[in-house]
Amino acid sequence: MKAILEKWLLNPRTILAIYILFALIASIQSIQQGDKPFVDGGIPYNQYNNYTIFKQSFFHLKDGKDLYILYPEQHWDLYKYSPSFSVVFGALAILPDGIGLSVWNLLNALFLLYAIYLLPGITLKNKSWIALICLIELLTSMQNEQSNGLMVGWIVLAFCMLEKDKYWLATLLLVATVFIKIFGVVAMAMFLFYPKKWKLALYSAIWTIVLLALPLIFVDMAQYQYLMESWRRMLSEDHSISLGFSVMGWLQTWFGMDGHKLLTLIAGVILFLVPLTRWQLYKDLNFRIWTLCSILIWVVIFNHKAESPTFIIAMVGVAIWFIKSEKNAFNIVLYALAMIFTSLSPSDLFPAAIRRDWVIPYVLKAVPCILIWLKIIWDLMWMNRSQRVLQTDSKV
């Protein structure tokens, strides 16, 4: 029975059907929930507010308006992505909300799933396990209409393209992530592993110019410069008002360390870079995969604005790490903590009182990811080809 269930559940076609179903369920749920205020006594908004923000940004751009101010008559909160993202999102903005939202969530789910199944050095069965491990966290992101599934899908897909020497596509994917969320630039550290770095730099420059120029389809140069300055100002002001589910938030709530955001970020950068000094291991696929996991977790836990839906990015790193890691007691405990506190804590499966009184105040969603990232850094520093720090799958 176990073998039959495992054979059915881990079948890529079954996984694909589950991902499509979850994307559509998240979309229908958001559409049907109706309007409600985000704060007591506030203006009621629809429950796919983030999608509405993305959609309206296209019309604001087209109409020559400032993208980075509040539009309380339309939606809650600010638009925080680049003007270029607004242009691309126009393809969905012109669709009815039900269709556009469904396509948006499907893009987030299917890019990620496709990237997972392209990962080198991992068996088909283990790729299916990775997809299943990430599913709950992906649903959380899609229920909030976020772009995080797309972000992590593009980063992992870029890694796969780099492994196949498809530099033009890899650079497009990574540059595109930067135009969604600035921290995507961290993933460009993967360029260190591959030859012809001049080509990677050239392609990145070309794609950056192309994507930067996109808004000029709709606005003149003066309005474009105004928008870029407004975006810079908004991000600068936004940086000072939150710590989120991050290392900074953990240090503040657990140890009372406040006002050390920049120092913490610098320390995180240094720790991230230290294993990359082991250039002699760059040819080792396991080292490259392990570094990919480090990147995926780093961009979340050192993001001062990390929210619960952001953790699909980190959870993909956790899933790949666990599938590839040696199954010792310490690694299993770390993984179990991530499943309980990172994936399950925002869901209805978790007691609401514990979530309210412990998980949120003490940033428990982030803590397992922080510990796993530190373990990855430790293993990368001590890894060599004779150690079984990572499991190598014999069949891909």
Q: What's 343's DSSP letter?
A: I
DSSP designation for 310: G
* Residues 275, 381: Cα–Cα separation, whole Å: 5
Burial of 132 (0-12, 13-18, 19+ CB in 10 A): middle
Closest residue by Cα to residue 61 from 51, 49, 69: 69
Q: What does the pLDDT read at residue 388? A: 47
Q: Are 201 and 174 in contact (CB under 8 A)?
A: no
Cβ within 8 Å of residue 277, ≥6 positions away: none
Paired tokens of 338? 């991530």
Q: Sketch the domain layout of the chain as residue ranges.
A: 2-382
Provide the H-helix boundaries in 119-217.
124-143, 148-163, 167-180, 197-213
AA letter at 270: I
What tokens appear for 218 in the block? 């709709």
DSSP code of 280?
G
**Closest to 10 in 3D by CA, of 132, 106, 115:** 132
CA 69 to chain centre: 25
Run means of pLDDT, 10 residues per run, the chain, 396 residues: 76 96 96 88 91 97 96 93 96 96 98 98 96 96 96 98 97 96 93 96 97 97 97 80 79 80 91 95 95 97 88 97 95 96 83 80 91 96 63 47
Which pLDDT value is given to residue 34?
A: 84
Q: Are 178 and 184 spatial neighbours (Cβ–Cβ below 8 Å)?
A: yes
Q: Per 3-state DSSP, what percentage of the chain is helix, strand, and coil (rounded to 5)?
A: 70, 0, 25
How many residues does the structure list for the chain?
Answer: 396
Q: Nearest CA to 113 among 393, 396, 316?
A: 316
- DSSP 8-state symbol, 349: T
Tell me the C-alpha distance between 293 and 318, whole Å. 7
Determine phi and psi for 35, rounding to 5 degrees. Answer: -95, 145
What's the pTM?
0.94
For residue 75, give the nearest of 58, 94, 92, 63 by alpha carbon.
Answer: 58
pLDDT at site 334: 97
The per-residue pLDDT for 249 is: 87
Question: Token pair for residue 307?
Answer: 């929210």
